[in-house]
Structure 1
Amino acid sequence: MVQNVTLLGTGLMGSAFANLYLNHGVNVTVWNRTPGRCAPLVKKGAQEAASIGSALEASPLVLVVLLDYDVFKNVMSGNEHLIAGRDFVNFMTGSAKDATRLEAYIHAHGGHYLDAAIEAYPDDIGHESTLIHYSGAEDIWLRNEKLLKMPGAASRWIGDLVSAANVLDAAMAGAFYNTGIGAFLEAVDFAKKAGVGIEQLEGCLDYFLALLKTELTAVIKHHKSDDYRTDQATLSIYVAAVKSWRQTMLDSGHRASLFTANLHCMEVAVAEGRGDLGIAATHANHIKN
């Protein structure tokens, strides 16, 4: 296992990483663009690098926890010769294109690159259940796996495609998790305006969460097989029900914005001839006849 690690960026997440590694006896070198930000970590045993160059020279493993990709490129300017031979693991939030471009930049200067997406908050770092997705060259993951799983024991490498971590982050943390919270908040707002207390929603939350997990498991099965047939509710039946539910929301004066968007997606699928299939066919690239 690599015993030395360099951390670029000591904000909330960078500091959480540094504290974790220090607690596990790892030699940690830290660097921050703002002088003095590293002081609390230095008191705990970290070594503060006086420059980005000395930070890079301190370790063969560099964890990038800066604000964004542009900041990283700016601070690296003039120090590209120190990239060669080092493993860079990027924890900055960005797009799939950002990851691909940064990998090309690191490779062009002789370095090795792994992208990461942290599916947690700073307070979650170091917990057994914390998940971080890593994507890129498997050899980088394998030689640093023990250190990279310290921030979250549930972490995993998901493949050679360097953009995969960002794509999965956008899909699950963004399109699913974040929109799911928005949909629940929309439901809460509607129910309260219609005179139903939040306690009533709380009382059936566990039931619908279990129901959702069951349905999502079925959706995965349908998409794996490209077989969207069902002997339960078809898309056409869902559309009829959603129209009724949506009208109830509109009648109460609620905009029902997310609900309306979801209805639109299902109506498009029905218009494209998928009305007799299951709800998993709302978004489907390949349909078996």
Structure 2
Amino acid sequence: MDVMNKPNVTVIGLGQMGAALADAFLSAGHPTTVWNRTPGKADALVARGAVRAATVAEAVAASELVVVCVLDHPAVRELLAPVAESLRGRVLVNLTSGSPEQARAEAEWAAAHGIGYLDGGIMTTPPGVGDSANMILYAGSPELLAAHRATLEVLGDPVDLGPDAGLASLYDAGLLGLMWSVFGGWLHATALAGADGVAAKEFTAVANRWLKTVSWFLSTYAEQIDAGEYPGSDATIDIQVATIGHLLEAGEARGIDGRLPRLHLELMREAAAAGHGGDSYARLVEIFRGE
């Protein structure tokens, strides 16, 4: 696409993430209008060619595609409710973190005012914005995402989650939980190996290979969860209860905090006590569901 023909984009909110979004649009050659409650935060972007809007209304009027990334959803509504009529007929891309319920409420508000709406989850930190290896999740109108994909893909790989506007926030929350669980397990394992003098970098090189196998398990277990059947053909819960004992013993011998593996053991014992010891680890999903 010719740079001169690239569509205008407005970015409202210039915290670390909002500034990174605006920077990515500028780097891709999009005429970019920016607004922030503290005008000085736009200085570096203006120096690179962005247009500083004096008001939110001015920012909204500058572009068909309006991207907002502020502190929370109440802040989104506070900023945009007064300019709802100016937003009519435009597309609002809300990349503000929030709950699925908040995202659905914003989608309803936008629809009531004739505003196209996409809700998004940015699955990277600000330095990763603009890298196609990183995902940005979108939920809302698939037609709007398709129409603006060429513009939005400069921020990262756009992943379409479908018309339910709450799904980007839901996936975001779940994936962050997965991330923290992986971090916790890795830190515990690194502390364990480090107690015997293994450098974190050395251990992690092997751990990264192991995570590829773990990824295979996730795909296999996902099929079991969807089917509601948990054959223990790979490794039963009973076997894993015995195996985790080795981890706990090694940790105790080295003075490593064992709260995390003990939580896993507690969950597995609960499933076994309910008569599911011969099932796969995926059976534990029903404990999280409260079933």
Q: TM-score w.r.t. structure 2 length? A: 0.89
Name 1:168's counterpart in structure 2.
171
Distance 1:86 1:230 in 2: 52
Name 1:250's counterpart in structure 2.
252
Counting only pairs closer than 5 Å after superposition, residues 205-284 of structure 1 correspond to structure 2 as: 205-284=207-286
Shift of 1:145: 1.3
Runs of at least 4 residues off by over 6 Å:
none
Distance 2:169 2:273 in 1: 32
Name 1:52's counterpart in structure 2.
56
Distance 1:210 1:149 in 2: 27
What letter corresponds to residue 82 of structure 2 in structure 1? G
Shift of 1:210: 2.8
Counting only pairs closer than 5 Å after superposition, residues 81-100 of structure 1 correspond to structure 2 as: 81-100=85-104
Contact 1:190-1:249 within 8 A present in 2 as well? yes
SS of residue in 2 equivalent to 1:85: coil
Match of 1:132 among 128, 136, 160: 136
Contact 1:2-1:144 within 8 A present in 2 as well? no
Distance 2:115 2:205 in 1: 54
Shift of 1:281: 1.6
Q: CA RMSD in A?
A: 2.1
Name 1:188's counterpart in structure 2.
190
Q: Does 1:197 align with 2:198?
A: yes
Q: Does 1:20 align with 2:21?
A: no
Distance 2:19 2:209 in 1: 38
What letter corresponds to residue 61 of structure 1 in structure 2? L
Contact 2:237-2:281 within 8 A present in 1 as well? yes
Name 2:7's counterpart in structure 1.
3
Shift of 1:77: 4.3
Contact 1:235-1:282 within 8 A present in 2 as well? no
Shift of 1:155: 2.1
Distance 1:273 1:102 in 2: 45
Shift of 1:64: 0.6
Q: Choose 130-139 or 2-11, whichever is displaced more.
A: 2-11
Aligned length: 282
Distance 1:55 1:197 in 2: 54
Distance 2:141 2:270 in 1: 39
SS of residue in 2 equivalent to 1:103: helix
What letter corresponds to residue 248 of structure 1 in structure 2? A
Write 1 or 2 for the structure with the bigger share of helix. Answer: 2
Name 1:31's counterpart in structure 2.
35
Q: TM-score w.r.t. structure 1 length? A: 0.89
SS of residue in 2 equivalent to 1:204: helix
Distance 2:86 2:19 in 1: 24
Q: Assess, with a 3 A threshold, how the Cα gap between structure 1 residues 28 and 215 changes in structure 2: closer, same or farther.
A: same
Unaligned runs of 5+ in 1: none
Distance 1:75 1:232 in 2: 53
Contact 1:80-1:109 within 8 A present in 2 as well? yes
Distance 1:27 1:207 in 2: 43
Distance 2:226 2:168 in 1: 20
Shift of 1:251: 4.5
SS of residue in 1 equivalent to 2:234: coil
Distance 1:202 1:41 in 2: 38
Shift of 1:228: 1.5
Name 1:110's counterpart in structure 2.
114
Identity level (%)? 28
What letter corresponds to residue 43 of structure 2 in structure 1? A
Distance 1:93 1:198 in 2: 36
